[in-house]
Structure formats: structure tokens, C-alpha cells
Amino acid sequence: MKTQTVTRKSFRREGEDKRREDLIAATLECVAERGLAGATVREIALRADVTAGLIRYYFPTKDDLIGAAYRAVMNRMTVQASDALQNAPNDPRARLYAFVTANLGQPIMDPNNLSLWAGFIGLVHADPAMAVAHREGYLGFRDELEALIREALLAVGKPAEAIHTRRHAIAINAIIDGLWLEGCLAGDIFADGELADTGITAIEAVLGISLKAEGGAP
């Protein structure tokens, strides 16, 4: 008769996609709470209720997991912004308005997102693969923004040549990024909606059109 001296952790088998998602989610939790350095394989495994060895079964190396997590964050923010567009009215100016305010409010403007983003950005300079991942995300965002800007300009009968819309996209992207940063880092010193409001006002000034009321062109 054999006594059960040690008990092995019971477990359930999960689909590959589910596990990957869980592991990425656990990684994001770690980074958000304790910085990139706090995202150790053991801590990640603990949060995912899994043993450390399993991580390597799904991700060849820890850096692969980290990279996947980065892409997940960026993708999530992109999707959230796109969702706001889906629910926006059909008017081009209203769509640009919705896009901007979505990026400057919850859940995109969140300290956790910034921690994640900053931790990864710090690696961009050293890791070429991360650099590629980042550039793609940045250009994708800016292109989407530029399209919105063009349509908004055309809607009020303003010229919208590529040379100008590119410049506008660069500037407005900067406004969004900058305000997003400020809000993530010190959201408590701003009134609710103040940053989104500030962003809209600044963007209206840059484009020379109104985004809220009717009638922008003279």
C-alpha cells in the first residue's frame, strides 16, 4: 500500500489560444504592477495559475512572451479606438472628434498602459525586433489619423493635399500622444475630461475647423 507522500498540482488542459492569452494577460498584470523587472517567469506563471515550465512550451523564450505582450497592448488600444469610431456618427468631423476623445479617456488613458508602453519603449533602442514592432504600430496609428483628418477637412470644403495632411497628422498625433502621456502620468491633477477637451480645442485650432458644432467653413 502506497501512501500519497507528495501531491502534484492538478491541472486542466487548455486550448493553445486560451493559454497564450492567459499568459500574456498575466504578463501585463506583472508589468503594470511592478514594472518590467517584476515580470519574471515565475511571477507570471503564478498569476496564470500555471507552473513556470509551461511558459517555455508556448513561448520559446521569455523575450518572445514579452514581445507578444507588447503587441497585445498596442493592439488593444488600437481596437478600443476603432470601436469608438464604429459607434460614432457618420459625419467626418464627429468621427475625428470621437477618435481623439477616445484616445484621451478611459480605458486608453491609463497608468497601466503607460507603464507597459514605457517599459517596452525602453527596449526599442536595444532590440531591433521591438523597433520594427513599434514603428509599424506608430505608422499605422498615424495613417488612420491622417485619413480622418483628410475627410474632416474635405467635409468643410478645405483643401486636403497630402503634403498638408501629413503635417497635420504629425502635429495632431503629437498632441494626442503628449496629452495621453500627461494624463497617464498625472491624471489626478486634471479635471475629468479636461485633457480631451484641451486636445479637441488645440486640434481645432491647428486644422482651423470646428469639430463639435455645425458649420466650419466660412
> Is the peptide bond preceding residue 89 cis, with omega within 30 degrees of 0?
no
CB of 56 to DNA, least distance (A): 6
Closest CB to DNA among 22 and 204?
A: 22
Q: Which stretch binds DNA (CB under 7 A): 34-42, 100-108, 156-164, 187-195?
A: 34-42
Report what 68 binds from a copy of itself, DNA, none; CB cut-off 5-8 Å by kind: none
Q: Binding of DNA at residue 19 (CB under 7 A)?
A: yes
Site string for a copy of itself, 151-190 (x = CB under 8 A): ----------------x--xx-xxxxxxx-xx--xx---x
Burial class (CB in 10 A: 0-12, 13-18, 19+), 70: buried
- Cis peptide upstream of residue 92 (ω within 30 degrees of 0): no
Q: How far apart are CA 150 and CA 22, in angstroms?
A: 39
Q: How far is the CB of 134 from DNA (least distance, A)?
A: 21
Angle at 36 between CA 101 and CA 104, to 5 degrees: 5
User: Could you tell me the three cell numbers for 104?
Assistant: 484621451
Q: Are the CB atoms for 148 and 95 separated by under 8 Å?
A: yes
Coil vs helix vs strand at 50:
coil
Number of CB atoms found within 10 A of residue 45's CB: 17
CB closer to DNA, 13 vs 125: 13
Pick the closer one to DNA by CB: 62 or 71: 62
Sites of contact with DNA (CB under 7 A): 6-14, 16, 19, 39-43, 49-58, 61-63
Sites of contact with a copy of itself (CB under 8 A): 32-38, 111-112, 114-115, 118-119, 121-127, 134-135, 138, 167, 170-171, 173-179, 181-182, 185-186, 190, 194-195, 198-199, 201-202, 205-206, 208
